[in-house]
Amino acid sequence: MVKPIRKLVTIGMAFGMMIALGAGTAQAAKKKSSIEIPKANKATFMLMPELPKDNIGGQQLGYFNLHLKTDQTKTVHIKVYNPTEHTINIYGQVNDATTNDNASVDYLGSHQNNRQLLKQPGSKLVSVSRKTELPAGATKRIAIKIKVNQPFQGTKATAVNLSANQFNQKSAVKNAYRYAIGLILNGQTVQKRDYHYLQSPSIKTRLTKDKKPAISVKLNNPDPIYLEKTQIKIKLQNQKWQFIQYATTIKNGKVAPNTSFYVDLLLGGKRLVPGTYSMTLTTRNSHYKKTLHKNVLITASQAKYINGLNAAYLRNRNWVLGGTAVILVIIGGVIVRVYRVRKRKRDLHAKNGE
In CATH, the number for domain 2-189 is 2.60.40.10
As a whole number of angstroms, the distance between CA 215 and CA 307 comes to 19
Show me where the domains of the chain are located.
2-189, 193-315, 323-349
* Helix H or strand E segment including 47: strand 46-50
Query: If you classify domain 193-315 with CATH, what class do you get?
Result: mainly beta
As a whole number of angstroms, the distance between CA 274 and CA 304 comes to 12
Other Cβ atoms within 10 Å of 334 Cβ, number: 10
Q: CA 21 → CA 157, 164, 189, 259, 325, distances in Å? A: 20, 11, 34, 23, 65
Q: Give the closest residue to 90 by CA, choosing from 130, 145, 63.
A: 130
* Three-state secondary structure call for residue 13: helix
pLDDT of residue 17: 41
As a whole number of angstroms, the distance between CA 277 and CA 238 comes to 4
Longest dimension (CA), the chain: 130
Q: Any idea how long the chain is?
A: 354
As a whole number of angstroms, the distance between CA 186 and CA 241 comes to 49
Does the global pTM surpass 0.95?
no
As a whole number of angstroms, the distance between CA 262 and CA 120 comes to 23
* Helix H or strand E segment including 141: strand 139-148
Is there a common fold for 2-189 and 193-315? Answer: yes
Give Cα 29 to chain centroid, integer Å. Answer: 31
As a whole number of angstroms, the distance between CA 45 and CA 3 comes to 17
With a cut of 70, which residues of the chain have pLDDT below it? 1-43, 167-175, 308-323, 325, 343, 345-354
* Three-state secondary structure call for residue 120: coil
Task: Write the DSSP string, 164-209.
Answer: EEPP-TT-S---EEEEEEEEEEE-BPPPGGG----EEEEEEEEE-T
Q: Give the closest residue to 95 by CA, choosing from 121, 76, 115.
A: 121
Task: Write the DSSP string, 336-347.
Answer: HHHHHHHHHHHH
pLDDT of residue 130: 95
- Residue 235: exposure state from Cβ atoms within 10 A (0-12, 13-18, ≥19): middle
Q: Do residues 150 and 161 make contact, with C-beta atoms less than 8 angstroms apart? A: no
